[in-house]
Amino acid sequence: MERLQGIAVSPGIAIGEALVLDNEGFRIPRRFLPRDAVEEELIRLDKAFHAAEAEVDRNRKSVAEQLGDDYAAIFSAHLQMLRDRRLHDEIEEMIRVRHYSPEYAVSRALRRYAKVFQSLQGKYMAERANDIFDIEKRILRNLLGRSREELANITSPVLVLAHNITPSETASLNPRFVLGLVTEVGGPGSHTAIVAEGLGIPAVVGVGPFLTDVSGGDTIIIDGDQGQIVLRPDEETVARYRHEVEEQRSLAAKLESLRDLPAITTDGQHVQLMGNIEFPHEVELCKQRGANGIGLYRTEFLYLGRDDDPSEETHYEAYSAVVHDMGNLPIVMRTLDLGADKMRSLPDPEDERNPFLGLRSIRLALRNRDLFRTQLRAILRASTWGEVRIMFPLISTIMELRQARMVLADAMEDLEEAKIPFDRSIKVGMMVEVPSAIMMMDRFVDEVDFFSIGTNDLIQYCLAVDRSNKDVASLYTAADPAVIRMIEIAVRVANQHGVPISMCGQMCGNPLYTMLLLGLGLRSFSVTPAAIPEIKRACRSVSTEQCVRVAEHVLKLESARDVKNYLKEELAKVFPELPL
């Protein structure tokens, strides 16, 4: 048994069979062969070895011609390994006797060799382990015939382990079969983390290199509460975690009774609890949990994994489906919030060294106005079916907001000329997620109908922490006093001017911060559907007077650790059954 520590980004516990995607994305499942398929699979294996040998030999000859035999020696060593009789016999024995698939047998055998080299002292031996991984990939490429098997094609329950998962892949995850996620890289607030939390899938990121220590089919445990994964757990550990799973299910069943009750404090203050969604099918989850509407509809999924831009009709069909499903409840549609590096249809930015500070979000939309106008037209058309609101992301200056509103006005004019109906009084708001927006809140109040605080980016920009970088992930926390003071300013200014303000970041989906946020004056939260019952329970357990006292005390604290410890103590008093 081996326990690894990562970063908890989506709560819950998952126990099951590992599906491993290595650095190149190869899926290495533990698949068993029927007896009558063994000989045919051995022939396929033999062809893969010969193809790999031919590739290596071509590389060896090419390097020898250009740089000399000394530089080609590495490929000669690879050839020697590929032709090693003991390796062939070991893999063949796994296929004949244990009926392993060739892919699994190759991976199992070569990773065992690599682990031996990794355990030896010295840089030379570590490099030999890398040679073995290179050979493994060559053989797998020839066995699989493609570099990555689509995660959307998974048809049995698994826990996905990967170096990283792209946004387009996370968009295709099916929570019926993907029960948990672990990645070697990443941090809180990453796209993978957001999608996992939205789908209610336990997830841990930023674990560091570990894929060579696990094979497809191994039993693992993902602890999304503590940010740990357990490889090949013993029976006692499995039993303990299964008990925790049952306790979580029991709590979820108790909270289910709150579904149709309002989120109202003990002294009668109503709190609006809305849902965050990434995909249209998540509307059903929001309705099941009793959401008061959709406070954040991330529209990026329409752009991911495509070679072209989605058409206006594609946008309209997705948006109108969500509006119809939600009935008369409000829906806040956030316009495109991606970087140019995530969109295949756009040319790669020439100097995008830091995408978080580059051409992304509203900046990208304003640079590509036809693309922007297409989306806005579709949102406006969908507004005839319900209470739709438009929200612009990553607004940092007054001019950006005014330019975005000008493009919106152009889209309205287009529809009016075409005699296409839309809601002419549609409400327009902005995300508050950069310090400059908070510093200018007293000016923005005259420009918008509502605000929504996006804490995922606000924390990143306030603390100068790349939220996808595991090396500084420990600095990324909503409990930092500077972040809390910025939120206090935003809420106070908005309330003073009578402009509605909500929060849609991950912070408000964590019951640890519910009393603090209520005490700061926030009365509208938009959270992942899975988080709604816990937040509602927290709201219904406290008075506003209690919350104000909590907020006043927190604003006097000087460290994130002190803030977290204090909030845990206060939450335990009113919500003792919640595991912290």
Q: Which residues are annotated as a binding site for phosphoenolpyruvate?
A: 298, 334, 456-457, 467
CA distance linking residue 545 with residue 522, whole number of Å: 14
> Does residue 398 contact residue 333 with C-beta atoms inside 8 Å?
no
Amino acid at 407: V
List residues forming the annotated binding site: 298, 334, 433, 456-457, 467
220: phi then psi, degrees, rounded to nearest 5: -135, 165
Catalytic residue among 504, 508, 539, 547: 504
Beta bridge partners of 19: 160
Beta bridge partners of 162: 21, 183
Q: Would strands 7-10 and 203-205 be described as parallel, antiparallel, or unpaired? A: antiparallel
> Does residue 178 contact residue 38 with C-beta atoms inside 8 Å?
no
CA distance linking residue 311 with residue 156, whole number of Å: 34
CA distance linking residue 111 with residue 210, whole number of Å: 12
**Greatest CA separation for the chain:** 83
> Does residue 397 contact residue 436 with C-beta atoms inside 8 Å?
yes
Specify the DSSP element, H or E, that contains 392: strand 388-392
List residues forming the annotated binding site for Mg(2+): 433, 457
272: phi then psi, degrees, rounded to nearest 5: -85, 120
Amino acid at 262: P
Whole-Å CA distances, 15 to 72, 160, 337, 575: 46, 11, 34, 27
> Does residue 578 contact residue 251 with C-beta atoms inside 8 Å?
yes
> Does residue 178 contact residue 203 with C-beta atoms inside 8 Å?
no
The contacts of residue 146 (CB under 8 Å, 6+ apart) are: none
CA distance linking residue 115 with residue 571, whole number of Å: 45
**Cα–Cα nearest to 18, from 212, 171, 216:** 216
Active site residue 50: no
Active site residue 462: no
Catalytic residue among 191, 286, 508, 547: 191
**Cα–Cα nearest to 259, from 286, 281, 293:** 286
Amino acid at 432: V
> Does residue 432 contact residue 454 with C-beta atoms inside 8 Å?
yes
CA distance linking residue 272 with residue 452, whole number of Å: 13
CA distance linking residue 138 with residue 347, whole number of Å: 31
The contacts of residue 15 (CB under 8 Å, 6+ apart) are: 219, 220, 221, 222, 238, 241, 242, 245
> Does residue 160 contact residue 152 with C-beta atoms inside 8 Å?
no
CA distance linking residue 243 with residue 252, whole number of Å: 14
CA distance linking residue 426 with residue 385, whole number of Å: 12
Active site residues: 191, 504
